[in-house]
Amino acid sequence: MEFDASSLRYNEAGLIPAIAQDNETGDVLMMAWMNAEAVAKTLETKRVTYWSRSRMSFWIKGETSGHVQELVDFRYDCDQDCILVLVNQTGAACHTNRRTCFYTAVRDGESVELMKPMED
């Protein structure tokens, strides 16, 4: 059966959460939003494309930073309301220059920074 991006369940703003996971390590790298056109562009170009809510425009990961996400596999959940993209990540995934956006943990009631920014 051919995939149709409109078959996914988007929220009232026309967006769906997309989780990026490193294809080699399994690390969860980040979460961002896609609309139907970003889904289509991602599948067509194999460069992960998100929708920036603050800029109200497409955001091709790595376009300005060089920290590219190359699509390896595109998956969606059983409710069709969340996307998982398996990627080959070049450099940092987080805008703070960390490998992942999930670098803070709560341990014994305290926030703990798990990693420092990557060296350039």
For the entire predicted model, the pTM comes to 0.92
User: What pLDDT was estimated at residue 1?
Assistant: 86
- In whole angstroms, what is the distance from residue 52 CA to residue 33 CA? 7
pLDDT at 6: 93
d(CA 36, CA 53): 14
Low-confidence ranges of the chain (pLDDT < 50): none
- pLDDT, position 120: 64
Residue-level pLDDT at 119:
82
Q: Quick one: 84 exposed, middle or buried, by C-beta within 10 A (0-12, 13-18, 19+)?
A: middle
